Amino acid sequence: MGLENSDIEIDHRHIFHAAPILFLVLKPNPPKYTILDATDAYCAATQTKRSEIINRGLFEVLPDNPADMNATGVSNLRMSLNSVVEKKQPHKMHIQKYDIQVTTENGICFEERFWNPKNSPVLDQKNEVLYIIHHVEDVTASVSMQNEIEKKSKLIEENDARINLILNALLKFTTLDFSERLKTTDKGDELDAIVVGLNSVIDELENHIQLLKNSNINLEYANKELDSFSYSVSHDLRAPLRAINGYSQVLMEDYGNKLDEDGKKTINTIIKNAFKMGALIDDLLTFSRVGKQDLKKVTLSMNSIVDSIIREFTNQEQKNTIEFIVKNLDDVEGDSSMIKQVFTNLISNAAKYSGKKEKAIIEIGSHKEKENIVYYVKDNGAGFDMKYYNKLFGVFQRLHSSSEFEGTGVGLALAQRIIKKHSGEVWAEAEVDKGACFYFSIPIKY
């Protein structure tokens, strides 16, 4: 306070107080370090009043946060100040956590603060330390932002790891391996919700798969029963039939000359019917066998299949009375012998039911329809009444009497069973005396 090298009177103390920096002037009297002065900015940042801190020891005014067991603010600052007193050199400290006391509604408590302090000695002419200037900046905002960023990136890393675990588990689940369950964390966040949801889906899925397995076992058992049933049917029913047929024949051969016409006719009826029953049993067994068989899929040349069937046909008497029109047929994947069976049944049906026409015409063709290839066998024969369509594909169902047209009533049912096994459909259109057209479709890829 007075004139120095200038005419202008300057109130240094006032200027010091008003300087927009955080300064504290300390007495170099360890371990107390008495506070001699402070800028307004410092008082504001530490929420202190100059009048209340002047002449008090630094660490009395600014103690460590008793709630922070790891607080190092006091000890680090003391070390720095000690070194300034000893070495008479400025000392710049690393960023320090040094909480301050604030007065709130609930009384006095500590608030987290970060600082980057620098302590510098003020020396006299004898190079003795007169004061220590303690200069700090409040870096709490940038430190907490940094902390926030670190926390977030750590969280992202953690979540990435958790997502990876979930993805790995999903990959396992796709192979129906449910040996492990995902674990939730104590976070209770969206990922945990996904894990909980996924686990319950897996539980449910596992339950259902177990149920399916059980019913599969039952089905297998039922299949085996059916298998042994058809085995004994085929064996045990055929044997007595053979005897009926055979011994009727023996009777005819050995005693035929002792029988009159009626007697011979009676025996022939027995033979014919035993034969027919044999055919029925055979057809029924073929029908049940198709149900059991696995498909052996290959690409089929439909034209060569149809041609071979027709060649076998034209060896017989129908040779001259049937005209076959075979279009260019689309090829498809399927079981060769089964599809041949379908065509054989449809073509022989067509031949049978048009047998009474003077000139029978049987047309076989195909076309693409959406994802399927549709094949048809069309004749100009007896046809049938669409009224009875629902009986057409039933086993042992016939729309014509045996005296009219021979047959066991298994052919179409068998065809339908085979096509269903190929994931296709069978259907027909017909009109009495104008012919029938049978269709079947097979998916191009199934």
Tokens of 434: 């104008």
CB nearer to another protein: pick between 87 and 224: 224
H or E stretch at 78: helix 73-87
Q: At its nearest, how many Å lie between another protein and the CB of residue 239?
A: 5
Q: Which is nearer to another protein, 88 or 238 (CB)?
A: 238
- The answer to whether 274 contacts another protein (rule: CB under 8 A) is yes
- Residue 255 touches another protein, criterion: CB under 8 A: no
The SS3 of residue 326 is strand
Q: Residue 441 forms beta bridges with which residues?
A: 374, 425
Q: Does 275 bind another protein (CB under 8 A)?
A: yes
Nearer Cβ to another protein, position 126 or 235? 235
Count residues contacting another protein (CB under 8 A)? 23
Give the list of residues 6+ apart from residue 439 with CB closer than 8 angstroms, or none.
374, 375, 376, 425, 426, 427, 428, 429
Please choose, out of 78-86, 93-101, 267-275, 399-407, the segment that lies near another protein by the rule CB under 8 A: 267-275
Q: Which is nearer to another protein, 241 or 361 (CB)?
A: 241
- Which is nearer to another protein, 7 or 236 (by Cβ)? 236
Q: What CA–CA distance (Å, rounded) separates 101 from 409?
A: 101
x/- contact string, 280-319, with another protein (CB under 8 A)?
A: -----x---x------------------------------
Confirm if 377 and 437 have CB atoms less than 8 A apart.
yes
Residue 14 interacting with another protein (CB under 8 A) = no
What is the rounded CA–CA span in Å between residue 156 and residue 66? 33
Q: Provide φ and ψ at 404, rounded to 5°.
A: -75, -55
The alpha carbon of 361 is separated from its chain's Cα centroid by a whole number of angstroms, namely 53
| Residue 338: φ, ψ to 5° | -70, -45
Count Cβ neighbours within 10 Å for each residue of 191-223 and write b for 16 or more, e otherwise.
bbeebeebbeebeeeeeeeeeeeeeeeeeeeee
Binding mask 234-253 toward another protein (x if CB under 8 A, else -) reads xxx-xx-xxx-xxxxxx---
From the CB of 231, what's the least distance to another protein, in Å? Answer: 6
Q: Residue 370 Cβ, how far from another protein at the closest point, in Å? A: 36
**Cα–Cα distance between 27 and 391 in angstroms, integer?**
115
Beta carbon nearer to another protein, 271 or 426: 271
Which of residues 224 and 356 has its CB atom nearest to another protein in the complex? 224
What amino acid is encoded at 30 in this protein?
P
**Which H helix or E strand runs over 26?**
strand 22-26
**Interacting span for another protein (CB under 8 A) from 144-152, 188-196, 273-281, 319-327:** 273-281
Q: Which tokens sit at 72?
A: 């190092």
CB of 228 vs another protein, minimal distance in Å: 10
Does 421 engage in binding with another protein (CB under 8 A)?
no
Q: Quote the CA–CA distance of 59 and 24 in Å, as a whole number.
A: 13
d(CA 42, CA 61): 13
Would you give the binding string for another protein spanning residues 209-238, x where CB under 8 A is met?
----------------------x--xxx-x
* Residue from 129, 277, 326, 361 in contact with another protein (CB under 8 A): 277
Tell me how far, at minimum, the Cβ of 249 lies from another protein, in Å: 4
**Shortest Å distance, C-beta 322 to another protein:** 26
Residues that bind another protein (CB under 8 A): 231, 234-236, 238-239, 241-243, 245-250, 271, 274-275, 277-279, 285, 289
